[in-house]
Amino acid sequence: MATLAPHRRITIDVVDDEVRRLNAFWRGSSDDGKMDLIIEDVLGAEAATRLDHFDAAQLAAVLHTCRQHATASAAGRALFAITRLEKKSSNDADRLSKYLARFSLRFEDIRKAG
């Protein structure tokens, strides 16, 4: 690793600045960083840290889809496109609402946060 330092000296401040720059670069270039941001935006930073990685990945995908659709029904149809074909009666908005309720969320809250 190399870094440019003023006055040819690498100080603690120079190292701290480089670490911040690299963290921002890595966060911006990965899906994990985007996933963390969307969850923090909706749930808050503290609540987001209490999610298992599996739940966080699934919730981030759901939140992303909700922000892409104007209604809970449209988002539900997109999320449950395959499994809805197997059901006699598909109420995709209800399925989505029940999933979001596990995290104390409503579709309207997600749309406002975005």
Average pLDDT of the chain to the nearest whole number: 82
Q: Are 48 and 40 in contact (CB under 8 A)?
A: yes
The Cα–Cα gap between 45 and 73 comes to 28
What are phi and psi for residue 56, nearest 5 degrees? -65, -45
pLDDT tens readout for residues 31-74: 555 677 888 888 888 888 888 888 988 999 999 999 999 999 99
Question: Residue 26: CB partners within 8 Å, gap ≥ 6?
Answer: 33
**Quick one: pLDDT band at residue 111, thresholds 50, 70, 90?**
confident
